[in-house]
Structure 1
Amino acid sequence: MARTLSVLLILCLAWFTIAAPLQRRQVGNLQCNINRLKIVTSLASTNTAVGKIDTTDPATASAVTAAQAGLTCAGAGIKTIAQSLFTGQAAPASARDQVQAGLLAAQTALAGITDPPATAAVTAAQNQLTTTIADGAAVVADCK
């Protein structure tokens, strides 16, 4: 009995030693959490900017749809990460990859728009997307 209790005590101590750093990392410090908020708000702003692009040209409409799909993909990755944080689980690396892939897909789609009437709105959306990508990079850098 004493031996079983000793083994359980050692296992508990090992668990708390391993789990404590993981939980601190998942919760993040102030800068990490500011960056998390920034990517969420800048992603919403990017969605708004993409929605303002004139889609009367069929090729532009297709590119806008692709950009919106990429942003939706990125948002789903962020949602997965947030759910992990709220439940105390480790955020899956695949969710971070999903955010990155979605943002890059949106960037590629916007770069393909050449319709002159949409130029100003496309430039605004690209600039906002650049901010969103930078915010995502800051999360990766600061939330370790």
Structure 2
Amino acid sequence: MARLIALFIVFLAALVTAAPLGTRAGLGSIKCNIDRFKIVTSLAATNAAVKQIDTSSSDTAAAVGTAQTGLSSAADGIKTIALNIITGQSPSAAARTQVQNGLNDAQTALTGINDSTAGATVAAAQSKLAATIQDGDDVVADC
């Protein structure tokens, strides 16, 4: 996930300094780019929070694995979108759907955890995920 954040920072720097003025207009507003940065950072925070969940219960471990798979899929979708933008293409609709589906899969998995010993860490992960989903909604609205 740290690589994704580093990639996004390099991406933003490259856009600001290397793009001719005429092509900068298609890159989105400052608000759009802040939203893009926020989803990358909140996704990393969500991933870290999910890793803190106690997986001693097999049911919880399975749900955590599903949540991590969803978060990984969302990260892959974000990487594809970033590559599209870097190469001057429109963000892929399929990649946007991949991000949305990955976040929804993670949300469903975390919602299904009923292990009382993991309650606090699950709630923390759900809170981080809710922020990530909101950041994704902001990208869609502002970009």
TM-score (ref. length: structure 2): 0.83
| TM-aligned CA deviation for residue 32 of structure 1 | 0.2
Find the aligned partners of 1:24 and 1:69 in 2 and give their Cα distance. 35
| TM-aligned CA deviation for residue 24 of structure 1 | 2.7
| TM-aligned CA deviation for residue 90 of structure 1 | 1.3
Find the aligned partners of 1:33 and 1:65 in 2 and give their Cα distance. 30
| Structure 1 match to 2:78 | 78
Could you tell me which runs of 5 or more consecutive residues in structure 2 were left unpaired when the two chains were aligned: 1-21
Q: What do the CA deviations read for 1:61-105 (whole angstroms, capped 9, x no partner)?
A: 000000000000000000000000111111111100000000000
Q: How does 1:41-60 map to 2 (within 5 A)?
A: 41-60=41-60
Q: How many residues in Structure 1 have an aligned counterpart in Structure 2?
A: 123
| TM-aligned CA deviation for residue 22 of structure 1 | 8.5
Secondary structure in structure 2 of the residue aligned to 1:77: helix
Secondary structure in structure 1 of the residue aligned to 2:65: helix
TM-score (ref. length: structure 1): 0.82
Q: Residue 22 of structure 1 contacts residue 90 of structure 1 at CA under 8 Å; is this kept in 2?
A: no
Poorly superposed stretches of 4+, deviation over 2 Å: 21-25
Q: Residue 68 of structure 1 contacts residue 106 of structure 1 at CA under 8 Å; is this kept in 2?
A: yes
Find the aligned partners of 2:77 and 2:23 in 1 and give their Cα distance. 20
Secondary structure in structure 1 of the residue aligned to 2:114: coil
Q: How does 1:124-143 map to 2 (within 5 A)?
A: 124-143=124-143
Find the aligned partners of 1:118 and 1:98 in 2 and give their Cα distance. 28
Percent of aligned pairs with the same amino acid: 57
Could you tell me which runs of 5 or more consecutive residues in structure 1 were left unpaired when the two chains were aligned: 1-20
Is 1:98–2:125 an aligned residue pair?
no
| TM-aligned CA deviation for residue 47 of structure 1 | 0.1
RMSD: 1.6
